[in-house]
Amino acid sequence: MNVKEYLASSSNQIVLSHFDADDQSLAPEGKKESKKELKSLRKQLVKLQQVLYAESKHKVLIILQAMDSGGKDGTIRAIFDGVNPQGVKVASFKVPTPLENAHDYLWRIHQKVPANGEIVIFNRSQYEDVLVVRVHELDPEKVWKKRYEEINKFERMLANEGTTILKFFLFISKEEQKKRFIERLENPEKQWKFNPGDIEERKYWDAYMEAYQDVIDKTSKPYAPWYVIPANHNWYRDLVISHIIVKQLKSLKMDYPEPVENIHQYLDPLQNS
Amino acid sequence: MNVKEYLASSSNQIVLSHFDADDQSLAPEGKKESKKELKSLRKQLVKLQQVLYAESKHKVLIILQAMDSGGKDGTIRAIFDGVNPQGVKVASFKVPTPLENAHDYLWRIHQKVPANGEIVIFNRSQYEDVLVVRVHELDPEKVWKKRYEEINKFERMLANEGTTILKFFLFISKEEQKKRFIERLENPEKQWKFNPGDIEERKYWDAYMEAYQDVIDKTSKPYAPWYVIPANHNWYRDLVISHIIVKQLKSLKMDYPEPVENIHQYLDPLQNS
């Protein structure tokens, strides 16, 4: 699977207004076949996480951003189903608390970054401070404008210190969002996810797209790339993201720690204990 | 499944020196049949966690304690496989850091207790401060002796504030530990879990059993019960623990939040947006 077209880079500018949220071009075999593929990727991920944890040398940070109903929760469930919960942490960044707001915007973020051997998934992230903050003018432009570069510097430092960073923007169309909101309202088991504020927020769709475009243009770096994922179809979204994560983890060439030397020094006394 | 015999209470004192780590009496149908049962329990747990998260009213704290190789990691994987990682957190308490040690022993514990809608699993816990600390005399007796009552008071407060607490001591025999250590040493994919210090620690087996006996006698309360789980057989351990957790969650009689009133006030404007 060649996911390069979804990777934002200096040689591949992704223009959101022309991006197809329905795209399924990398899975010509279709939804049914892809389920097997996803299952296989998930199994690989389970194994890779085990080595990552055992080796305890690399840190992995996965950032998920999306518009409301874009599928962040579903992605986490679909991809990390079966991965040892002990080595995977999810950090959700909601509306900042007064204590968080009394600090710089990276303060609460920094506390949640992965340690050696850990995978941490950010459900929303530092990018909210150049998204919702920009769209609703919660801070003046001269303040949020500086943040792109600050975030780059911050992520550069994390990468220098051994963190693998992958950033995913789950891209759904405005029409798809409408469908999902209606489904939430009409399905009793999903209604609790409905928030009247989401409909208000929907009015700012274009402003958000502009803000996301800037994020992707300014903060996709080789050490912390942005992937824009066609996300109208959940199965396709899960397949592509799993593929990218598995490929990246494989490239770390991890291995179990060196074998214990002379195991008999331990085995022999054990036998008599 | 009547698990009462594993529940330590004033009417059922569990004497560890007579407890059978090989017991399988509650699963007369045997290992093979029980796999189906475990699968069904896991599915129920996935659903229960979803409601717990949606309702966001209850907090659930699961404490796992065991001797080295007792199966804490395996239990977490087996039982929470497939449960949404977003609503389940694992907190592992290792040897305290200097910063942790500079505080009271409940300081680091308190930071990790569950919020509304969350399940938190403690891999080791505050009980280490009356186990390893007692066995190795890291604090004088007059200090750790007070802790049983302090822990009871602490857990009572958590329960008063809406926390469901379940505590499991995964009980393996000394012989089984030997088997597991040997397996770790001989299996290249498991060797990284081997720690030479574990063999040293094994010499204190009897002192640990005494310390565990006191923990169970002094801190099993209706609001925070201890279950002693026969854990020589992983499948049995997983089955019994899943059963207890599912039963407890069901008893909370959780439900999705109240339906949104007059959904048309939202649906109608959505249709035209």
Write the ipTM.
0.82
pLDDT at B203: 95
Residue of chain B minimizing CA distance to A123: B86
pLDDT per residue over B250-265, tens digit each? 999 999 998 888 888 8
Question: Stretch B227-245: mean pLDDT, rounded?
Answer: 98
Decide if pLDDT at B272 tops 90.
Answer: no
Rounded CA separation B107/B105 (Å): 6
Q: Cα–Cα–Cα angle for B15, B17, B22, nearest 5°?
A: 100
- Closest to B132 measured CA to CA, from B69, B212, B57: B212
Which residue type occupies A20? D
Number of C-beta neighbours around residue A69 at 10 A: 23
Decide if pLDDT at A81 tops 90.
Answer: no
Which residue type occupies A112? K
Tell me if A273 and B191 make a contact (CB, 8 A cut-off): no
Decide if pLDDT at A178 tops 90.
Answer: yes
Residue of chain B minimizing CA distance to A73: B86
Chain A contact set for B257 (CB, 8 A): 191-192
Residue of chain A minimizing CA distance to B42: A82
How many domains in chain B? 1
Rounded CA separation B186/B164 (Å): 40
Q: Is residue A73 part of a domain?
A: yes
Q: Is residue B271 part of a domain?
A: no
Q: Cα–Cα–Cα angle for A32, A46, A76, nearest 5°?
A: 65
CA distances from B67 to B3, B165, B205, B214 (A): 22, 21, 9, 15
pLDDT per residue over A83-140, tens digit each? 999 889 999 999 999 999 999 999 999 999 999 999 999 999 999 999 999 999 999 9
Tell me if A85 and B86 make a contact (CB, 8 A cut-off): no
Tell me if A84 and B77 make a contact (CB, 8 A cut-off): yes
Q: Is residue B43 part of a domain?
A: yes
- Closest CB to B266 among A81, A121, A196: A196
pLDDT at B261: 84
Question: Stretch A239-259: mean pLDDT, rounded?
Answer: 95
Decide if pLDDT at A166 tops 90.
Answer: yes
Decide if pLDDT at B273 tops 90.
Answer: no
pLDDT at A258: 87
Number of C-beta neighbours around residue A247 at 10 A: 13
| pLDDT confidence bin for B37, thresholds 50/70/90 | very high
Tell me the CA end-to-end span of chain B in Å, nearest whole number: 54
- Closest to B95 measured CA to CA, from B60, B147, B136: B136
- Closest CB to A266 among B73, B196, B267: B196
Residues pairing with A190 in the sheet: none
Q: Is residue A99 part of a domain?
A: yes
Distance from the Cα of A11 to chain B's closest Cα (Å) equals: 35
Chain B contact set for A185 (CB, 8 A): 260, 263, 266-267, 270
User: What percentage of chain B reaches a pLDDT higher than 90?
Assistant: 87
Chain B contact set for A258 (CB, 8 A): none
Chain B contact set for A182 (CB, 8 A): 267, 270
Please say whether the dihedral angle defined by the alpha carbons of residues A121, A127, A129 and A131, taken in this order, is positive or negative: negative
Question: Stretch B63-76: mean pLDDT, rounded?
Answer: 97
Tokens of A14: 């992704």
Decide if pLDDT at A261 tops 90.
Answer: no
Rounded CA separation A53/B192 (Å): 10
pLDDT at A188: 83
What is A130-141 written as a DSSP string?
GTHHHHTTSS-H
User: What percentage of chain A reaches a pLDDT higher than 90?
Assistant: 87
Decide if pLDDT at A269 tops 90.
Answer: no
Q: Is residue A250 part of a domain?
A: yes
Tell me if A186 and B80 make a contact (CB, 8 A cut-off): no
At A208, which helix (H) or strand (E)?
Answer: helix A205-219
Tell me if A191 and B81 make a contact (CB, 8 A cut-off): no
Chain A contact set for B89 (CB, 8 A): 85, 89
pLDDT at A262: 86
Check if the beta carbon of residue A12 is closer than 8 Å to that of residue A4: yes
Which residue type occupies A174? K
CA distances from A63 to A23, A89, A160, B145 (A): 22, 12, 18, 46
The DSSP 8-state label assigned to residue A18 in this structure reads G
Residue of chain B minimizing CA distance to A193: B54
Number of C-beta neighbours around residue A260 at 10 A: 16
Domain extent at residue B10: 3-257
Q: What CATH number did the domain enclosing A63 receive?
A: 3.40.50.300
Q: Is residue A65 part of a domain?
A: yes
Tell me the CA end-to-end span of chain A in Å, nearest whole number: 54
Question: Stretch A1-30: mean pLDDT, rounded?
Answer: 96
pLDDT at B263: 86
Structure-token match 């942790």, residue found: B100
Question: Stretch B22-38: mean pLDDT, rounded?
Answer: 94
Residue of chain A minimizing CA distance to B82: A81
Sorted by sequence, the CB contacts under 8 Å of residue B114 that are 6+ apart come out as B59, B60, B61, B89, B120, B163
pLDDT per residue over A38-78, tens digit each? 999 999 999 999 999 999 999 999 999 999 999 999 999 99
Rounded CA separation B22/B29 (Å): 15
Tokens of A7: 């990777």
Q: Is residue B263 part of a domain?
A: no
Question: Stretch A232-249: mean pLDDT, rounded?
Answer: 98
Tell me if A85 and B82 make a contact (CB, 8 A cut-off): no
pLDDT per residue over B104-159, tens digit each? 999 999 999 999 999 999 999 999 999 999 999 999 999 999 999 999 999 999 99
Beta carbon pairs, A and B, within 8 Å: 112
**Interface list for chain A against chain B, based on CB atoms closer than 8 Å:** 50, 54-55, 73, 76-77, 80-86, 88-90, 92, 121, 123, 178, 181-182, 185-186, 188-189, 191-194, 196, 199, 202-203, 256-257, 259-260, 263, 266-267, 269-271, 273
Q: Which stretch of A181-185, B62-66, B225-229 has the lowest confidence by average pLDDT?
A: A181-185
Rounded CA separation B56/B116 (Å): 5
Q: Is residue B50 part of a domain?
A: yes
Tell me if B54 and A192 make a contact (CB, 8 A cut-off): yes
pLDDT at B31: 94
Q: Cα–Cα–Cα angle for B48, B54, B60, nearest 5°?
A: 55
Tell me if B81 and A82 make a contact (CB, 8 A cut-off): yes
Which residue type occupies B28? P
Check if the beta carbon of residue A220 is closer than 8 Å to that of residue A22: no
Q: Where are the alpha helices (DSSP H) in chain B?
A: 30-55, 72-80, 98-101, 107-110, 132-135, 141-144, 147-160, 174-186, 196-202, 205-219, 234-251, 264-271
Question: Taking each helix axis from N to C terminus, what angle separates A30-55 and A234-251, rounded to the nearest 10 degrees?
Answer: 30
- Closest CB to A263 among B84, B123, B185: B185
| pLDDT confidence bin for A260, thresholds 50/70/90 | confident
Say if residue A66 is exposed, middle or buried (CB neighbours under 10 Å; 0-12, 13-18, 19+): buried
Rounded CA separation B254/A227 (Å): 39
User: What percentage of chain A reaches a pLDDT higher than 70?
Assistant: 100
Check if the beta carbon of residue B198 is closer than 8 Å to that of residue B181: yes
pLDDT at A67: 98
Tell me if B270 and A178 make a contact (CB, 8 A cut-off): yes
pLDDT at B188: 83
The alpha-carbon radius of gyration of chain A (Å, integer) is 20
Tell me if A185 and B267 make a contact (CB, 8 A cut-off): yes
Distance from the Cα of A44 to chain B's closest Cα (Å) equals: 15
